[in-house]
Amino acid sequence: MRIIKQLSYFGFADAAQNDPLYKEAYEVSKYLTGKGYVCINGGGPGTMRAVSEGAKSAGGYAIGVTFYPKDITNFEGRDPGNPLDEEIRTKNYLERTLKLLELGDAYVIFRGGTGTISEFGMAWGLARLYFGHHKPLILYGDFWNEIIREFERNMRIRPEDLKVYKVVNTPDEAYKAIQIFEGALAAQEYVHQEEKAFQQ
């Protein structure tokens, strides 16, 4: 039984179509969608649009979680060129982020700016809180290793914090990481069900 069915993607909203990051996000989403995963993103431009386009090129389904602010200076908004199959409108940025985290069974996180940093932080914090039943993080790119090392050097990182993510560099590595996490989650669920049955 597949536990991970939907992937929420996070990354840089300002990535142009000729940016290697845009192309990278497109290829990752195309590959993973081809493996049967639903693509979820914030409905905006940059890597959000790239992953939707990748999903559509693989014949898959793309969901966008959006909101339409009135008085925010630096927000990308809904990209009309982002080819969504379904749009879920939320009231504000926080609600949008929470919905993206809720809908994804796992998170694929690319290089990004302050928005991506906040999304990564929330996803990482939630994974630690629900450790063992958590939603895994797929951190795309070697640069993440350096970031995590700095966190370890300067912050109070617990051992379990380092077990909820995998750093990958290719679409196939991302897929294999998801499969590993799914196997571990399935085993944990089996143990939980066995314990529950024994108690009854």
pLDDT at 125: 97
C-alpha–C-alpha distance, residues 102 and 164, integer Å = 17
C-alpha–C-alpha distance, residues 82 and 65, integer Å = 12
Mean pLDDT of the region 54-69: 96
pLDDT per residue as tens digits for the range 62-71? 999 999 887 7
pLDDT at 91 over 70: yes
pLDDT-derived band of residue 75, with 50, 70 and 90 as boundaries? confident
Contact yes or no for 137/123 (Cβ under 8 A): yes
pLDDT per residue as tens digits for the range 18-28? 999 999 999 99
Residue-range domain boundaries for the chain: 6-199
69 contacts: CB under 8 Å, gap ≥ 6: 75, 77, 92, 93
pLDDT per residue as tens digits for the range 127-172? 999 999 999 999 999 999 999 999 999 999 999 999 999 999 999 9
pLDDT-derived band of residue 190, with 50, 70 and 90 as boundaries? low
C-alpha–C-alpha distance, residues 110 and 54, integer Å = 15
Provide, rounded to the nearest whole percent, the portion of the chain with pLDDT above 70: 93
Report, at the CATH architecture level, how domain 6-199 is classified.
3-Layer(aba) Sandwich (3.40)
pLDDT at 200 over 80: no
Cα 42 to Cα 37, 75, 87, distances in angstroms: 17, 11, 9
Class of residue 54 by CB neighbours under 10 A (exposed 0-12, middle 13-18, buried 19+): buried
pLDDT at 198 over 80: no
Mean pLDDT of the region 172-192: 87
pLDDT at 110: 98
